[in-house]
Amino acid sequence: MKDFSFYLNSTQEIGYVERTTSSIIYASGLPKSKPGEMVIFDNENLGQILSLSPNFIEILVFPENPVKPGMKLVRTNEFLKIPVGWELLGNVISPLGISLNPLNSKRSPSLRRGVNNPASGILTRRTIKKQLETGVSLVDLVIPLGYGQRELIIGDRKTGKTNFLLQSVLTQAKKNNICVYAAIGKRKLDIKELKDFFVKQGVFDQVVIVASGSEDPTGIIYLTPYSAMTISEYFRDEGNNVFLVLDDLSTHAKFYREIALLGKRFPGRNSYPGDIFYMHSSLLERAGNFVTPKGEKAITCFPVAETIQGDLSGYIETNLMSMTDGHLYFDGDLFAKGRRPAINPFLSVTRVGRQTQSNLKRELNREVLSFITLFEKMQNFTHFGAELSVGTRATLGFGEKIIEFFKQNPSTTIPINLQIILFGILWNNILENKQSQDKSQNTDTEKLAKLYEKNEDVRKKIDSMIEGSKSFNELLGIIRQKGEKQLVNILKYAN
């Protein structure tokens, strides 16, 4: 971006700051300015025109230095653009594309892309057909998701949402997909922890973190998800599947409300402005499965919403539910019971995920869902203190094992084929002598996951078993025939 004097000479227009109110300023002058246009102040700060009135221009500022009345500003004849390029990978950047690491040796990309692009039209979109792996068994087997799906991650704070997101990013990065993580108004410590996690897992080269801190100007925080989406669109157009996390849009809505109220917009429900739905829907509409010159590529988007005491009926929460293709509900009660991840499968929805599943996975999904529904009902029934039959006790015991199976360490990701095989073994009751509370179970799963990733032989064997089965029953048959022996061999490998 050029400097103040360049734009002053090229546009031959000047404005003066008349009034400032936090992140919004009112300026006079600039007769040919347009809404959305960027302005630059004489101290090289940037701003974006929000609205025009006969006497004043309303500008949202992104200042590093304070903007004071009397300062000069010029319009740039450009809409807000940020630098995009491969150099962004392995970097923590501000929403304006500036690296937040002062020791960063990578150059800022020279290509610039508009932040407020309209969403692609219907002709460029394709049906979601490919399943997206999160590495979390409960999601991949029970609430499957697809590439290009927009899935809301909703729940109270401290219910394991971020851990699940990190697991998903990790799985996607291992698959060589580009991951963009938008940390909206987070604490600096949280942003550092995010980065450290990716560095530790060795996937930071596949990740871009677009971060704004809670102490940053409101304008910068507001911009964060839009910048992250712009970066995602760039990588999609470069021929990559992109996994985008917007953490979180409840915070974003609060900051946008602040801007709107300062700008004297008429307050609506919960004092949010009337266009809050539009602000979020126009953002999420930019994700999806697209046909590009480089093939069918998807932007899968996981927006996050924080609830208060499990209330799913909040304004922003319901807005987001209506503009996404389902939601994963992180239940505080399940978290307190020790379930990890604390996803409530009965209150979670996936609208397009099941269409991506193969016959085998669909059957497995149906079986497991109907079983855990039955288990849940029986558990409720036992609360009445009735005497239980042998069959009921067996179902309850097996249900406990299933629940235990879905428990997963926050740092472990399990490839989907391994999940299916392990579930098949459990379903066949091959491990019936193994105690459900056995603490070594998670360690075994971790070892198996690592083995599957590293050992090609094991991977091929497991994959061929899945590929060779047309239905879940067929797979169970194969596992019954040779699964036990193979499992013993695999476990030997792992140990």
Partner 1 sequence: MKDNTSIYSDILKSIKTTDDQEQLLSEIDILLDALFQTRLGFEKSLESISLETTKVLKETFLKINLDVTNIDEVVNFLNELKNKIKSLKTLKLYLAFFPSEDSIDKLFNWIINNLGNRIILSIQEEKTILGGAIIEFDGNYLDYSLKKRLEDLFFKRKEAIFKI
Catalytic residue numbers read 351
Estimate to the nearest angstrom the gap between the alpha carbon of 288 and the chain centroid. 13
Q: Which is nearer to partner 1, 31 or 274 (CB)?
A: 31
- 264 CB contacts (<8 Å, ≥6 apart)? none
Chosen residue from 1, 14, 100, 487 binding partner 1 by CB under 8 A: 14
Count of Cβ atoms closer than 10 Å to residue 69 Cβ: 12
Non-local (6+) Cβ contacts of 415 within 8 A are 133, 135, 449, 452, 453
Q: Which residues touch 296 (CB under 8 Å, ≥6 apart)?
A: 126, 289, 290
Q: How far is CA 159 from CA 78, 132, 334, 344, 479, in A?
A: 43, 23, 9, 11, 35
Q: Which is nearer to partner 1, 6 or 278 (CB)?
A: 6
**Separation between Cα atoms, residue 361 and residue 427, nearest integer Å:** 14
Q: Indicate the residue among 72 and 362 with the shorter CB distance to partner 1.
A: 72
Q: Does 28 bind partner 1 (CB under 8 A)?
A: yes
Which burial class, exposed, middle or buried, applies to 440 when counting CB atoms under 10 A from its CB (0-12, 13-18, 19+)? exposed
Residue 99 backbone phi and psi in degrees, to 5: -65, 135
Instruction: Tell me which of 3, 6, 22, 31 binds partner 1, using CB under 8 A.
Output: 31
Closer of 5 and 322 to partner 1 (Cβ): 5
Using CB under 8 A, pick the residue from 1, 18, 29, 112 that binds partner 1. Answer: 29
Of 8 and 378, the one with the shorter C-beta distance to partner 1 is: 8
Distance, CA of 186 to CA of 161 (rounded, Å):
14
Residues 113-142 close enough to bind partner 1 by CB under 8 A: none
**15 binding partner 1? (CB under 8 A):** yes
Could you tell me which stretch among 26-34, 60-68, 100-108, 381-389 binds partner 1 (CB under 8 A)?
A: 26-34
Task: Say whether residue 52 binds partner 1 (CB under 8 A).
Answer: no
Q: Which residues 6+ apart lie within 8 Å of 250 measured at CB? A: 304, 305, 306, 316, 317
Alpha helix segments (H runs only) across 383-455: 390-406, 416-427, 440-454
Residue 55, interface with partner 1 (CB under 8 A)?
Answer: no
CB of 245 to partner 1, least distance (A): 42
1, 13, 263, 275: residue in contact with partner 1 (rule CB under 8 A): 13
Our finding on whether 47 is near partner 1 (CB under 8 A) is no
Question: Looking at 8, 323, 347, 487, which residue binds partner 1 (CB under 8 A)?
Answer: 8
| Contact region with partner 1 (CB under 8 A), list: 7-15, 178-186, 196-204, 422-430 | 7-15
Q: Considering the rule CB under 8 A, would residue 30 count as an interface residue with partner 1?
A: yes
Token look-up 């939601």 returns 327
Q: How far is the CB of 26 from partner 1 (least distance, A)?
A: 14
309 interacts with partner 1 by CB under 8 A: no
Written as six digits, the tokens of 115 are 């932040």
Residues 58-87 that bind partner 1 (CB under 8 A): 74
Q: How far is the CB of 15 from partner 1 (least distance, A)?
A: 6
Least Å distance, CB 9 to partner 1, is: 6
Q: Which listed residue (9, 101, 411, 481) binds partner 1 by CB under 8 A?
A: 9
How many angstroms separate the CA atoms of 215 and 212, rounded? 8
What is the Cα–Cα distance from 299 to 321, expressed in whole angstroms? 18
Specify the stretch interacting with partner 1 by CB under 8 A; choose among 11-19, 122-130, 268-276, 463-471: 11-19
Asked if 12 is part of the footprint of partner 1 (rule: CB under 8 A), the reply reads yes
Interface with partner 1 (CB under 8 A): 8-9, 11-15, 28-31, 74
